[in-house]
Amino acid sequence: MSEEEGVRVNDKRRIDPDTFEVRQPDAGEPLTEMDVEAEIIEGEVGGIEEKISELTEDLQRVHAEYANYRKRVDRDREVNRQLAIGAVFSELLPVLDDLELAREHDELNGAFKTVGEKLEATLNKLGLEKFGAAQDPFDPNLHEALASVEADGVTEPTVTAVFQQGYRQGDRILRPARVSVAGT
């Protein structure tokens, strides 16, 4: 080598170290094997990005399905819980009827009175509601008419006497009130 020629360096790096941009091969230079491999890799990257996008959409769909599933399971669990509580309430209704009869006959005294009041308070706290009173408008969805009486001045069917209290849990009727009705 002569001193005039000196050392010649060809920078074949695809990324410019100063600007960090991808260098484009000169139009006059033939593509090297490295350039061809780089183009193949860029094509594969596009395919990989499409696959990533597709998998991301699938993951989002599965995540949404799982969230809906959890909501449905929680809702079903709450419905089953309410049905189980309603079944217990239904079994305790005769006990509540006996407490009411004892109260009407002044036999609800002492410890028996305390236990009865605690039982009623606990059942009310769990959602048991008592309904049915004299002078309420008659509603066939809430009341079971056992007797019909004539009454003057009544314009709509009205409860005149309650033979047995009705009970409900939320919107669900556990037992209709058994009543006597006056009116048309």
State the pLDDT at residue 154. 79
**Is the same domain home to 53 and 102?**
yes
Strand 143-149 and strand 177-182: the pairing is parallel
- Domain end, chosen from 100, 126, 152, is at 126
The residues, ordered by sequence, that sit 6+ positions from 137 with a Cβ below 8 Å of its Cβ are: 156, 157, 158, 159
The pTM (predicted TM-score) of the whole model is 0.61
Based on the fold, state whether residues 122 and 139 are members of the same structural domain: no
Residue 183 belongs to domain spanning: 128-184
Q: What share of the chain is helix, strand, coil (3-state, %, to 5)?
A: 50, 20, 35
Please give the chain's pLDDT, 184 residues, in tens: 455 677 776 767 767 778 877 776 655 555 566 666 766 676 677 678 888 889 999 999 999 999 999 999 999 999 999 999 999 999 999 999 999 999 888 888 888 889 999 999 999 999 999 998 888 999 999 999 999 888 877 788 989 999 999 999 988 999 999 999 997 6
Question: Does some domain include residue 150?
Answer: yes
In Å, what is the CA distance from 181 to each residue of 13, 53, 147, 151, 175? 99, 70, 6, 9, 17
Give 179's Cβ-side CA count (13 Å radius).
27
Are 142 and 57 within one domain?
no
Q: Which has the closest alpha carbon to 162: 92, 109, 104? A: 104
Q: Are residues 113 and 146 in the same domain?
A: no
Same domain, 69 and 148: no
Total count of domains within the chain: 2
Distance CA 63, CA 65 (A): 5
Do 121 and 74 belong to one domain?
yes
User: Do residues 170 and 127 lie in contact, with contact meaning Cβ atoms separated by under 8 Å?
Assistant: yes
CATH assignment of the domain containing 148? 2.30.22.10
